[in-house]
Chain A
């Protein structure tokens, strides 16, 4: 079998694991006593007020944007790292340029306050 096929079959088998666990629990557990009170969202002794799916500070999204940029860089850096020894000095200079640009981006995000948590 090819590697990909093996991983695919392993994934299919693994799907059975949580399903089996839930089925086993279904055998053992009592039928839930349904009451509106029991199914209310957990809160410290009072009912939840206002919508739960609420807006979040823009902070989180700034991090997400910076992350996206860096994560794409990671994908570029891995193939480069694998071939680093084979490519010689050229690869090293290329990498210096690439990482300088990356560091510039990080410095810019830092300066603009995207990394500030408040």
Chain B
């Protein structure tokens, strides 16, 4: 079971080489298959996730949630997706068409690109990049620009206000996010996600870096624009923030990208702090799925439990609490490592 997916890959490459393809071309086909798997699984998974989110919210609010289409309403999101496919495509008259059209496309491209470096099992990262963590943070922060493009391109006051808020928020929470991961990097001495997982053989980093984990979790919730930090698209006051003018497939791409980001960030959280794909009995690729889903359930729990945070509180939480705390965490981690070395542990 452990080697199942790797074996399929090896079988594919050797089979193609048996057909007379050169090694480079066989690798290229393997990459194409991997890409297809990621995009397919991401899309199918988002449909499951939206259903799950609605069921979880229903459970928390003592409602039933979707329950008409299929057992437990599982086909509800499939129907929603088909509805979105058949919607008219409306571009508002004053819009900056280029920005308006490009924004959702770039958003989903950025979201899918995050999966290149994630180790989805033992030796199962598509690229075992030596600066993997840095790549993830830098590519992930590009989504800010897509939201600003959407808000500016729509030529709508709600959109622009939502976009400005989300830029202010994401920019502020990016710093505690990046700082909180420094503690982990200091302990491991590598930015390679595979090395970081391997370093958690004996003890998970959530135990060594609990403060960093909490800071990371809060900052990640804000980066994902999820409740209680969903000020940028607070539907009661801003309609839908930057997405107000979007219809049909363009809007669906935004939604898809948001949930794709959620999965990627949850997988990163379990890779960095919860031991990644390591675990007893089950194969490694199953462990990362289990952990990612548990992290995502916590994100959903948070979203439906806490009321939305006011904008000024939101900003001061980042700048006046999380950033000083994460800086202090770096100093304490450094001092701890020095102390350990001085003691000869």
> Does B331 lie within 8 Å of A96, measured CB to CB?
yes
Residues on B with C-beta less than 8 A from A58 are none
Q: How far is the CA of A1 from the CA of B24 in the complex (A)?
A: 7
**Does B58 sit at the interface, judged by CB under 8 A?**
no
Provide the A1-35 mask, 1 if CB < 8 A to any CB of B, else 0: 10100110111011101110110111011111100
> Does A9 lie within 8 Å of B31, measured CB to CB?
yes
> Does A92 lie within 8 Å of B316, measured CB to CB?
no
Which chain B residue has the least Cβ–Cβ distance from A17? B39
**Does B152 sit at the interface, judged by CB under 8 A?**
yes
Q: How far is the CA of A82 from the CA of B183 in the complex (A)?
A: 10
Q: How far is the CA of A106 from the CA of B252 in the complex (A)?
A: 40
- Interface residues of B: mostly helix, strand, loop or mixed? helix
> Does B175 lie within 8 Å of A71, measured CB to CB?
yes
> Does B334 lie within 8 Å of A95, measured CB to CB?
yes
> Does A10 lie within 8 Å of B171, measured CB to CB?
no
Q: How far is the CA of A88 from the CA of B167 in the complex (A)?
A: 38
Number of interface residues of B (CB under 8 A): 77
> Does B160 lie within 8 Å of A115, measured CB to CB?
no
> Does B174 lie within 8 Å of A28, measured CB to CB?
no
Q: Beyond A67-B175, A77-B182, is A6–B324 a contact (Cβ under 8 Å)?
A: no
Q: How far is the CA of A12 from the CA of B21 in the complex (A)?
A: 22
Q: How far is the CB of A110 from chain B (nearest CB, A)?
A: 7
Q: How far is the CA of A54 from the CA of B199 in the complex (A)?
A: 51
Which chain B residue has the least Cβ–Cβ distance from A1? B27
Q: How far is the CB of A49 from chain B (nearest CB, A)?
A: 9
Which chain A residue has the least Cβ–Cβ distance from B189? A85
Provide the A52-87 mask, 1 if CB < 8 A to any CB of B, else 0: 111010001001101100110010011001111110
Q: How far is the CB of B329 from chain A (nearest CB, A)?
A: 11
Residues on A with C-beta less than 8 A from B182 are 77-78, 81
> Does A17 lie within 8 Å of B156, measured CB to CB?
no
Which chain A residue has the least Cβ–Cβ distance from B190? A82
Q: How far is the CB of B39 from chain A (nearest CB, A)?
A: 6
Q: Beyond A6-B126, A36-B93, A42-B245, is A18–B109 a contact (Cβ under 8 Å)?
A: yes
Specify which of A53, A60, A74, A95 lies most central, judged by the most chain B CB atoms within 10 Å of its CB: A74
Contact of A42 among B28, B168, B239 (CB under 8 A): B239
Q: Beyond A10-B35, A17-B39, A52-B155, is A29–B89 a contact (Cβ under 8 Å)?
A: yes
- Interchain Cβ contacts under 8 Å between A and B, 25 examples: A6-B126, A10-B31, A19-B105, A21-B252, A21-B253, A25-B85, A25-B252, A28-B85, A39-B91, A41-B93, A52-B155, A52-B156, A60-B167, A64-B171, A67-B174, A71-B175, A71-B178, A78-B185, A96-B334, A99-B327, A103-B327, A110-B319, A110-B320, A117-B311, A117-B315
List the interface of chain B (C-beta within 8 A of A).
24, 27-28, 31-32, 35, 39, 84-94, 104-105, 108-109, 112-113, 116, 126-130, 134, 152, 154-158, 160, 164, 167-168, 171-172, 174-175, 178-179, 182, 185-186, 189-191, 239, 244-245, 248-250, 252-253, 311-312, 315-316, 319-320, 323-324, 327, 330-331, 334-335, 337-338, 341
